[in-house]
Structure 1
Amino acid sequence: MPLITDPHFYFVAIPAVLLLGMSKSGFGAGFGSLAVPMMALAVTVPQAAAILMPVLLLMDLLGMAAFRKNVDPHLLMFLIPWGLAGIVIGALLFKVLDARLVAGIVGVFTLLFLAQRLLFPPRADSAPPPRWVGAILTVTSGFTSFIAHAGGPPINAYVIPMRLSPVLFTGTMAFFFFFVNLAKWIPYAWLGLLDLRNMTTSLALLPFAPIGVWVGVRIAHRIQPVWFYRLVYSGMFLTGCKLVWDAVAIP
């Protein structure tokens, strides 16, 4: 049958799509990386990533429309080439890498970043990370985004210290991930992940995408920066813990 009909799948997939939509809109940024691990409770990680492809495209378009006037073009021009380089690396290594290992690496990195921010908080006059650090983190973001749509934590580790306003942060990330996610389509098709069953299932989930984005956009425009970044950190903490658990748990 060209559609997943297991109720258990939709029990975890619908909340995952809503959470991803809210993350795309800025509110709850960081929580979006939980979408694939949540869906992996019912299907494999590659299948979950493939099902989310059309959903991500719609969310990216909605996010760009909502924040089209809130973009840092210079930062975006720096990020996009490195993100695409990470996509290429992910495509070449996809079949030889264990998804659990990748999840563990992303999770540990996320928790280490949070520990550094909490134990050694930056001063108001401290400089943002150097460009070479940004290049490494952005390549990592493209790579982990390709493997499991978990590109948020690495790129957050570079952009958050810049202290952009919530809407500028969200708009720049919306445009960055549009290009990153668009670049995944050809290699995903090459790897045979975009089959009829996955795409039909994605269409069934598509109506929930704008709901999550709409809720998140409404909140992102009203939230204070301090609370915005507290939510980002909370989302990254939960994401890191979940990804590490996925890596070490007995299958």
Structure 2
Amino acid sequence: MCFDILHKFSGEIVAFVARPLGDVSEDPGECRGVAVQQCAQLGQNLIDADLRGVSCRHADLRGQCFIGCILDDADFRGASLQGADFSGASLMRARFDDASLSGARFLNANLTRATFNRADLLTTSLIGATLSDADFCDAHLTAARFDGADCARANFYQADLSHSSWGGTRCINARFQGAIWAGVKLKSPPVQLDGFGCNVVLLGDEMFVDGQVMPIRDALNISTQEALSVGSLSWLRFLTRFRQIYPLLPADLIDTPSV
């Protein structure tokens, strides 16, 4: 008896695995998981495969290629995925909690509502990825790259973002309470922050609010009267929501606010 892994477009067989005698499991996710692990042992890549719902908990899939695969609702909790390549893959609602993902690649992947709680993502590349509503609570993201990613409503509660790169990243209503920002790199194109009633852009140690530039230190310590004297209500609107933007800023760029 065997289980087939099909190409997501053509429906052709990408790989198949014979079930061991006595295996009565009919769970498609578990069957796909067995097939994926056997492919990894044989050094066989899984490009553009339909692997939705695959269950690979605690599996050793280091360096495995999943480019362009459908992995929606996949379970990789506790898996070893160092150096794995998920570029262009669909990973909606996938679970990577407690997984080892150092050096993994998620270029332009769809990780909407994926979870990475306590996962190790050292030097992981998330360039251009869709991370809407993703959960990185307590994740280790040192030197990870978020350039061009969409992090709308993502949760980075107490995540270690040290030395990570944020160029042109979209952070609408993302949550960064307790996150570690030491050595964060803000590169051109700038980081665009939305949801403040005005256009807020971070670039280096300067902040642009509706095109008006001010050093970040000054922007965080400006009084209401000073904001009005700038001649724009945009600064005043920004000040009213200042505590929401504060956790987004690297600690080495700012002083403790006095307001």
Task: Judge same fold: TM > 0.5, yes or no.
Answer: no
Please identify which structure carries the higher helix content: 1
| TM-score, length basis structure 1 | 0.19
More strand by share: 2
